[in-house]
Amino acid sequence: MANGGAMNRDQPITARDVDYGGLENAAGFLLRLAQLQVFAHFYKAFEQHELRLGAISALIIIRHNPGIRHGVLAEVLSIKLAHTTKMLKSLESQGLVVRHQPAHDRRSVELRLTEAGEALTRDMQEQVRRHKDLSVAGLSERERNQLKRLLRKLTGVPAYPPRHLATTQLPATQAQDNRPPRKNRARRS
């Protein structure tokens, strides 16, 4: 239906028949559809936790960056500061996060997980590891790795933790998923 939908049809248009009018080549449109697909899988897999994706992401970031400041958390999650404040108040009221004022700077607030927050986040991260590729199960392992590399490039998220923060070895599977592409690699046919 490249003629703007002017085609006469006796049958109703089905999803298979839709002319996307160029949207099939629009990165933003495709990313949004992919996001919806991934979120649907995520919420089904994590519904027992009764936490939204932003809160789970915040807990994971705080777990791996104890003492992170509120503004830095908002920045890395691309969430408005006001929304982050509301989310942190909720996590604090659930006993998962505590705010701490460091002695060296009374104007700032550092974030840390409580013991309950640590246990919950550790459990959720294990679930993430087990389910991370199910939402893109239609892709081969090579395609999943390529997609992750391209998304990291687009978003500016590094493949590895900064060297000055890396204190543990990545599991072999995670290291393989996150390895940067080698240059001048001979192509297989």
| Domain architecture of the chain: domains with CATH | 24-154 (1.10.10.10)
Highest mean pLDDT among 39-48, 96-105, 165-174: 96-105
Gap between the Cα atoms of 122 and 99, Å rounded: 20
Residues in the chain: 189
Q: Are 134 and 127 in contact (CB under 8 A)?
A: no
DSSP character string of 8-69:
--SSPPPGGG---TTGGG-HHHHHHHHHHHHHHHHHHHTGGG---HHHHHHHHHHHHSTTEE
pLDDT band, residue 117 (cuts 50/70/90): very high
DSSP character string of 71-128:
HHHHHHHT--HHHHHHHHHHHHHTTSEEEE--TT-TT--EEEE-HHHHHHHHHHHHHH
Residue 175 has what pLDDT?
A: 44
pTM of the model as a whole: 0.72
Give the Å distances, CA to CA, from 2 to 6, 10, 11, 31, 182.
9, 18, 17, 23, 41
Tell me which of 51-55, 56-60, 73-77, 102-106 is least confident: 102-106
Q: What is the mean pLDDT of residues 79-84?
A: 94
Q: What is the mean pLDDT of residues 143-147?
A: 90
Residue 172 CB-half CA count within 13 A? 0
Phi, psi at residue 69, to the nearest 5°?
Answer: -90, 155
Q: What is the mean pLDDT of residues 25-34?
A: 92
Helix-strand-coil percent breakdown of the chain, rounded to 5? 55, 5, 40
The C-alpha R_g of the chain, in whole angstroms, comes to 21
Tell me which of 129-133, 161-165, 185-189 is least confident: 185-189
Gap between the Cα atoms of 156 and 147, Å rounded: 14
Residue 62 in this model has a pLDDT that exceeds 50: yes
Tell me which of 36-40, 75-79, 175-179 is least confident: 175-179
Q: Is the dihedral of CA 37, 41, 47, 53 positive or negative?
A: negative
Residue 166 in this model has a pLDDT that exceeds 80: no
Give the Å distances, CA to CA, from 1 to 12, 18, 138, 146, 177.
13, 8, 27, 32, 40
Per residue in 83-101, pLDDT (tens digit) is: 999 999 999 999 999 998 8
More confident residue, 163 or 50: 50
